[in-house]
Structure formats: C-alpha cells, structure tokens
Amino acid sequence: MIDLESLPHLPGCYLFKNEDGTVLYVGKAKDLKKRVSSYFQKRDHDPKTESLVQVLRSLDFIVTNTEVEAFLLENTLIKKHWPRYNIALKDSKRYACIHLTEEKFPRIRLARKRIDSGNFFGPFVSARERDYIFEVVRKTFQLRTCKQMPKRACLRYHFGACSGPCIGKISSEEYGENVRKANSVLKGNIKELINSMESEMREQAAKQQFEQAMALRDEIAALENLQEKQNMERQKKHNEDILNYIVRDDAVYLMLFKVYKGTLEDKQDYVFTYGENFLEEFLVQYYSENDPPEELILPEPLEESFTDFLSHVKGTKVKVTVPKQGDKKELLDLALKNVEIGFFGDRKKLEALQNKLSLPKPPSVIECFDISHLSGTAMVGSMVQFRGGRPDKHNYRRFKIEGVEGIDDFASIAEVVRRRYTRLLEDKHDMPDLIIIDGGKGQLSSAFQEIRKLKLRIPIISIAKREEEIYVPGLKSPLPIKRDDKASLFVQEIRDEAHRFAINYNRLLRQKSLIS
C-alpha cells in the first residue's frame, strides 16, 4: 500500500514496485509528495500510466539536495533496475560531461563516458546549459577542439575561436595557463569571468544590441548554475560506502549509501536494537556477507584493528574516512537527511495504529504471520517483522508446517505462532508489541488461543483480504477502520510483505520437489 503522508516536500527519486518488490518505474521529482500524489489524484492517465497505477503495490524513495541531483540519480537507477515502465521512455546514454584532455595542448570536448585521461566536469542534465558553458569556456580561453592537430590553421583560428597552437601562435606555457584558468572556471571558480560578462552585457544593452545582451544573460545563468554541487555523480576511480545513523528510543536507524566509482546507485536501510558497540557489530555482520568498498565514509572513527579486519576481508587496503567538510561530508549529511525523513516519517503510521487499536504505546516491533500452499502441497508459514515502521528482514522467519495434515489454515497458523513464541520464551528474547494474522476471525481465534496457552499478553489482530477488515479477539464485528485509513494501509503493507515472503518460500519448496 502507498502511504502518501510519509512523503516529504523535497526533491528526489521515487521507485514504484510490484508485490514481489520488483522495481516497475523510476521517476524524479522537484517535490516528491506532489509528484507521487498526482498518480492517485488524476483520473485521466494515459493507458501506460493507468496500467502502472493498477499494478504498483509499494514505494521507495531517495531524497536529494537539488533537482539536478534527482535527474542524475534517476538516470543511474534506471540503468541499474531497467524498470519495465521506463525502458520505452529512456535511452541508455549518460548525461554528457565537459572533458579537458591530457595532452601537450589539451583540447576541450563533450564526453558521455569517463574513459580517457584528463579532467571531467559535470555531468550536465541540461544540454542547453552544457552547450552555453562549453562555448563560453572554449571562446574565452581559445582552446582547441580538433581531434588531431592540423598542419595549418583552420577556420576556428581565423574566426578568433582558437589560439592556434597547431601553427605555433601560442607557446605550450601560455596555452597551459589558459587551460588552468578553464579548469578553474569549470570547477566553479567563475566570479571574475561572470563579472566581466555582466559588464559586457550592460554595454550591449546600452548600445541596444538586445539579442547579444540576452545571449550573454543566458550564458551567465548557465555559469552560475555550474556552481551547484552535483553529489549524485562525482569523478572517482574507486567504490565508496557512506553510512550514517540516528539512535532513538533504544533503537538504531541506519542508512547505507552505495557509491560505485563516484555514482550513487543504491541505498539500504536497517533498524535494530541499540547496543554499546552497535556500529562495529553491524559492520562485522554486513561485510561478512558483502564485499567492503575501497573507502568507507562514517560519522565517527573506528578502531585501527577494525580497519585491519575490513582490509583482511577485502584482500586489499580499506580506507575509513570521517569527513569534516567537502563533498564527502555533504553525502554523509544527505544520508542522515534520508534517515530522518525515511524512518521518522514512519512514526506517524505507528501513532495512527496505536490510536486506532487503543494501544498503550506505538507498536515499535510488529510481527505478522501468513500461510501459503498450493492445493494442500508445500504448506508453509511466514513471519515478517517490522521495526520502527520498516521491514527488519534480519528477523524474518519461515516455517515448514509439520503437524498438520491436508488443508487446515487454522491449525497451520496455530502451529507457527506456537513455535515462534515458544522459541522466544526459551531464548528469553523480547516479545513484539503487536501480532498481526493474515486472515479472518477463524485464523485470529486459533492464534489467540496459542498466545493464551503460553500465558503471554501481546495485542493481536487479524486482517481479512477481501474487504481489508481488521478483527480483534472477543468482538464479532470488525473494527470501524476504513480500508484507506493510514492505520489500515499500514496493516495492509505489513500483511502484503508477509504474503510475499510466504509465497516465495512455497515456490522454493515446490521447485526443489520438482528437481528431486
């Protein structure tokens, strides 16, 4: 279910997914809440968009600092996921950069791939602004554009657009100085150049040369936009992981950005119980299963022995950086912004559920059970856990039904609930704040009886699929909660995840059975 209330009024990218979690569509937005809401508020969609709205079941999003960053991230995410509803709309090209080559007399060119030596600037999401900047820098510093140096002067030299290094009209030292100035301008150090162009623009306007003045105005605007940082894509030859977190109410809310050779390609989020050495424990578990990057960017330093551990796992040196300023610090702050928006927007869902169910506190830990089978074969149960409003996949569990013959959903639910909470009691683990059962009054009654036998006092509800009705023990009628209420949508989201997890396990067992 899509919860529009949790979306921020900020730029970023959104990912629509189907019930299996497959990305169907990647979009960008200047205002995430307004853009995503428009899919559900409009009634005159084209057939393709109408089809997308019918099949999408969940949403993920990444907040960016600017709309430009959203453009760049959208491009990366489309090429990563190849979403079905994007492919006909997007080609496989990258946004172009401006490239200063590494030669005796460097040339300036446009490039879509960073495969040659030299300095790259961009990428530019606006072709018009890119071309303005390219032409201003080329003309101002009279840099060559030819692939090979000709033996005689070309038309660009005669038009005054090139300094003529091919015929010795400028020394390599003088040309190199022009290149250094161009390099500085493309890095954003352009105040003097803009001042000069503004003076020229005023002169042209005074002479009533308005077309030339307007052209200069547009070029100045393009140069000013060049100063906007583009954190989604940076020139790097190695991979980075950027990690930040918030500790609140004895829980850690953590965000991990995956940056591949300078391009932000993915984010992963986690919620787990706070402990004294939680960061090192998390990193040990995560990098025991995932390859460490060449550089790990963190908000706090690690012990040297732990850095050695990461290097040992990777097989090469891993650098751990704690930035105080610059683009790495900006990415660290952006990860923190995503933690704040992504996780604590979910607190509203928890509070809504608390109010509708009259719970003593927001249900921080919720566990949901579902049963799946195919005509009585491969009978399995699933349990998913939501912590802080988000899936905590580390604590998902799946069950083969062992003590039930034939098709009996009531007995199957009773078995998995009994096994789950008997195990938690034996291991002396904390109990959840709320239990959700996928089904109607019958499944709820079976689960509730097992909870009572174990002498546990845990709030428990069930949700019936057809009308999305929510039941509680002891009441014949469902609770008066509308299916589009925030609390109901949250319960549906959790139920759908449990259903997806159960179906996947059922398919896995059937595949193994067919192979054997």
Q: What is the DSSP string of 258-302?
A: EEETTEEEEEEEEEEE--TTHHHHHHHHHHHHS---SEEE-SS--
Is residue 171 scored above 70 in pLDDT? yes
Residue 90 pLDDT: 44
Domain edge (last residue) among 176, 197, 226: 226
- Report the C-alpha gap between 285 and 267 in whole angstroms: 17
Residue 355 pLDDT: 94
Q: What is the mean pLDDT of residues 477-498?
A: 91
Percent of the chain with pLDDT over 70: 88
Q: Same domain for 138 and 43?
A: no
Phi, psi for 389 (deg, rounded to 5): 90, 0
- For residue 90, being part of any structural domain is answered with no
Higher pLDDT, 157 or 449: 449
- Report the C-alpha gap between 86 and 94 in whole angstroms: 15
Summarize pLDDT for 6-37 with one digit per residue, the tens.
788 899 899 998 877 888 998 888 899 899 98
Summarize pLDDT for 348-377 with one digit per residue, the tens.
889 999 999 999 999 999 999 998 876 556
Residue 189 pLDDT: 66
Q: For the chain, give the mean pLDDT.
A: 83
Q: Same domain for 36 and 118?
A: no
Summarize pLDDT for 103-114 with one digit per residue, the tens.
888 888 888 777
Higher pLDDT, 214 or 197: 214
Residue 89 pLDDT: 42
Q: Same domain for 120 and 179?
A: yes
- For residue 88, being part of any structural domain is answered with no
Summarize pLDDT for 29-83 with one digit per residue, the tens.
889 989 998 888 877 777 888 888 888 888 889 888 877 778 778 877 887 778 8
Lowest mean pLDDT among 12-26, 63-77, 211-225, 457-471: 211-225
Q: Same domain for 376 and 510?
A: yes
- The DSSP result for 76-109, as a single string, is HHHHHH--TTTTTT--SPPPPEEEE--SSS-BEE
| Residue 223 CA to its chain's centroid (Å) | 29
Residue 460 pLDDT: 97
- Report the C-alpha gap between 75 and 212 in whole angstroms: 35
- For residue 192, being part of any structural domain is answered with yes
Q: Same domain for 319 and 353?
A: no
Residue 246 pLDDT: 92
| Residue 381: CATH number of its domain | 3.30.420.340
Q: Same domain for 340 and 353?
A: no
Collapsing DSSP to helix, strand or coil, 120 comes out as: strand
Please choose, from the candidates 357, 433, 355, the residue with its C-alpha nearest in 3D space to the C-alpha of residue 388.
Answer: 433
- pLDDT band at residue 488 under the 50/70/90 scheme: very high
The residue whose two tokens read 């960053």 is 69
- Report the C-alpha gap between 13 and 74 in whole angstroms: 6
| Residue 259: CATH number of its domain | 3.30.420.10
* 369-384 exposure pattern, b = at least 16 Cβ within 10 A, e = fewer: bbbbbeeeebbbbbbb
The residue whose two tokens read 């299916």 is 483
Question: Which residues does residue 446 pair with via DSSP β-bridges, in sequence order?
Answer: none
- For residue 76, being part of any structural domain is answered with yes
Residue 56 pLDDT: 87
Residue 236 pLDDT: 59
Summarize pLDDT for 113-163 with one digit per residue, the tens.
777 778 887 677 667 667 777 877 887 777 888 887 777 777 777 777 787
Is residue 491 scored above 80 in pLDDT? yes
The residue whose two tokens read 């089809």 is 51
Q: Same domain for 300 and 406?
A: no
- For residue 89, being part of any structural domain is answered with no
Contact 9, 1 (CB under 8 A): no
Q: Same domain for 511 and 370?
A: yes
Is residue 383 scored above 90 in pLDDT? yes
| Residue 469 CA to its chain's centroid (Å) | 33
Contact 376, 419 (CB under 8 A): no
HEC secondary structure over 124-174: CCCHHHHHHHHHHHHHHHCCECCCCCCCCCCHHHHCCCCCCHHHCCCCHHH
The answer to whether the peptide bond before residue 83 is cis (omega within 30 degrees of 0) is no
**What does each C-alpha distance from 380 to 239, 368, 409 come to in angstroms?**
40, 14, 10
- For residue 482, being part of any structural domain is answered with yes
- pLDDT band at residue 458 under the 50/70/90 scheme: very high
- The DSSP result for 485-501, as a single string, is SHHHHHHHHHHHHHHHH
Number of domains in the chain: 4
**What does each C-alpha distance from 353 to 166, 456, 487, 491 come to in angstroms?**
74, 21, 5, 8
- Report the C-alpha gap between 360 and 497 in whole angstroms: 25
Domain edge (last residue) among 55, 81, 107: 81
- For residue 63, being part of any structural domain is answered with yes
Q: Same domain for 277 and 403?
A: no
Percent of the chain with pLDDT over 90: 24
H or E element at residue 257: strand 251-260
Q: Same domain for 269 and 334?
A: yes
Residue 219 pLDDT: 67
Residue 421 pLDDT: 96
- pLDDT band at residue 232 under the 50/70/90 scheme: very low
Q: What is the mean pLDDT of residues 214-238?
A: 62
- pLDDT band at residue 262 under the 50/70/90 scheme: low
Higher pLDDT, 192 or 274: 274
Q: 387: left (phi > 0), else alpha (psi -120 to 50), else beta?
A: beta
Tokens of 110: 């446009």
Please choose, from the candidates 75, 87, 137, the residue with its C-alpha nearest in 3D space to the C-alpha of residue 112.
Answer: 75
Domain edge (last residue) among 181, 196, 226: 226
- Report the C-alpha gap between 493 and 13 in whole angstroms: 21
Q: Same domain for 128 and 220?
A: yes
- For residue 231, being part of any structural domain is answered with no
| Residue 65: CATH number of its domain | 3.40.1440.10
- pLDDT band at residue 169 under the 50/70/90 scheme: confident
Phi, psi for 315 (deg, rounded to 5): 95, -10
Please choose, from the candidates 375, 370, 380, the residue with its C-alpha nearest in 3D space to the C-alpha of residue 512.
Answer: 380
- Report the C-alpha gap between 366 and 350 in whole angstroms: 10
Q: Same domain for 213 and 250?
A: no
**What radius of gyration do the chain's Cα atoms show?**
29
Range of the domain at 25: 4-81
Lowest mean pLDDT among 16-25, 339-348, 438-447: 339-348
**What does each C-alpha distance from 471 to 440, 464, 502 come to in angstroms?**
7, 8, 22
Summarize pLDDT for 397-427 with one digit per residue, the tens.
989 888 777 778 899 999 999 999 999 999 9
Q: E-strand spans in 4-64?
A: 12-17, 23-29, 58-63
